[in-house]
Amino acid sequence: MNGNVVLSVSNLSVEFPLRGGLFRRAARLQAVQHLSFELRPHEVLGIVGESGSGKSTTARAILRLEKPSEGTIWMDGEDVSTLSERQFRMRRRKIQMVFQDPYSSLDPSMVIADSIGEPLEIHGGLRGGERDRRVAELLSLVGLGPQQMNRYPHEFSGGQRQRIAIARAIAMEPSILVCDEAVSALDVSTQNQIINLLADLRERLGMAYLFISHDLAVVRHIADRVLVMYLGRAVEEGPSTRIFEAPAHPYTRALLDALPTPNPATQRRKRKNRLEGELPDPASLPKGCAFQTRCPRVMQICRTEAPSARPVSGGGSVACHLHPDEPAAPPQHISVTSAGIDLTDETNERQPR
């Protein structure tokens, strides 16, 4: 494993059993298939794709919330996939998760001082005033005041609850924060506030993020690199700028073209690239490329051979038979907006508002 990596996932696969019917044999759903990627220190890796692409299952497998069927996971130079549950729990402080619904991750019967303070007591040995001082510091870090320590989760807004969940997640100073659709349940204005908070915490605390989202506009705003998944497989990976300006995979291009744009002419052009065709049964994927049933540029080889990852101009890789026989698409300006702001404008990139 490269020493300049905080997380390395190699050949990760996750399967779920499906119950068979009277005339149907039991099958297995391949939720994640032979996935490999690395996360570098202080980096934000965005993982994107439609619902069912395997994004969240990947995160849950890394945190042992789902059991992988194969593959290895290295964290800070250690193969954690070989550890027992007890050994892994001792290392969980290195990697924490922020979920989509903060209310479900907070005990409604506990005041937030106790919710945030619980890991400080269990793993840090802090008690009484020492614990409360640390809780106050964490609340200040996420933009909440210490006077709110004795309130219950239901007394806060959705955005405030997500701030509390983030404060709990960073309490043990992890090196990796996994954000699983962490802003998707929030309104656009609150989304921007949380994204800016995460960017600020990364600078202050030096964490690396796995940022999982179906919202490419949000990912464009925070990610350094992007991994695109389709039906459990990685189809493209590369620097954020290259992915958004010169997508190499037809699926990536279709996802980008689905984003709204204020320019009517551009919107009409992008409609031509929208996804059509039937989504294959995840439990019975076709031979060859899984995207063949929806790809506007499908070839005969796509129906017989699954593409392997190949380097692409501009950085990263793509799993598509169109490459390397065909050069990567030339850079184009694609307007990606969030809250009325053009996120492709470099002056807006990762700047607090």
User: Does 213 or 331 have the greater pLDDT score?
Assistant: 213
- Whether 212 shows a pLDDT value over 60: the answer reads yes
Bridge partner residues of 338 (DSSP)? 341
Q: What is the CATH number of domain 7-17+28-109+152-342?
A: 3.40.50.300
Confidence of residue 102 (pLDDT cuts 50, 70, 90): confident
Q: Taking the domains of the chain in order of start, what are their residue ranges?
A: 7-17+28-109+152-342
- What pLDDT digit, counting tens, does each position of 26-82 carry? 678 899 999 999 999 999 999 999 999 999 999 999 999 999 999 999 998 899 999
Q: How many residues does the chain have?
A: 353
Residue 324 in this model has a pLDDT that exceeds 80: no
Supply the pLDDT for residue 222. Answer: 95
Share of the chain above pLDDT 70, in %: 85
C-alpha to C-alpha distances, 113 to 109, 135, 150, 202, nearest whole angstrom: 12, 6, 6, 23
| Contact by Cβ (8 Å): 339, 188 | yes
**Per-residue pLDDT at 338 exceeds 90:** no
pLDDT at 328: 42
Average pLDDT over residues 325-349: 43
Grade residue 335 by pLDDT with cuts at 50, 70 and 90: very low
Higher pLDDT, 128 or 253: 253
**Crossing angle between the packed helical segments 112-122 and 128-141, to the nearest 10 degrees:** 120
Full DSSP string of 94-148: GEEEE-S-GGGGS-TTS-HHHHHHHHHHHTT---HHHHHHHHHHHHHHTT--GGG
Q: What is the mean pLDDT of residues 289-295?
A: 95
| Burial class, 63, CB count within 10 angstroms (exposed 0-12 / middle 13-18 / buried 19+) | middle
Mean pLDDT of 319-345: 53
Mean pLDDT of 161-173: 95
Asked whether the predicted pLDDT for residue 214 surpasses 70, the reply is yes
**Dihedral pair phi/psi, residue 169, rounded to 5°:** -65, -35
Beta strands in the chain (DSSP E): 7-18, 27-39, 44-48, 70-75, 78-79, 95-98, 176-180, 208-212, 225-230, 233-239, 309-311, 317-319, 337-338, 341-342
Query: Do 100 and 182 contact (CB within 8 A), yes or no?
Result: yes
Predicted TM-score (pTM) of the model is 0.86
Residues 32, 61, 308, CA angle at the centre, nearest 5°?
Answer: 30
Take residue 152 and report the two structure tokens written for it.
């219950």
Beta-carbon contacts of 308 under 8 Å, excluding residues fewer than 6 positions away, are 319
Q: What per-residue confidence (pLDDT) applies to 24?
A: 60
Across the range 117-129, mean pLDDT stands at 86
pLDDT in tens, 229-269: 999 999 999 999 999 999 999 999 999 998 877 665 555 55
Note the Cα 303 to chain centre separation in Å. Answer: 29
Q: DSSP letter at 278?
A: P
How far apart CA 35 and CA 233 sit, in angstroms, is 6
- The region that residue 206 occupies, defined by phi over 0 for left and psi between -120 and 50 for alpha, beta otherwise, is left
Q: Please name every residue paired with 211 in a beta bridge, in sequence order, or none if there are none.
A: 46, 179
Q: State the Cα–Cα distance between residues 329 and 242, nearest whole angstrom.
A: 10
State yes or no: pLDDT of 160 exceeds 70: yes
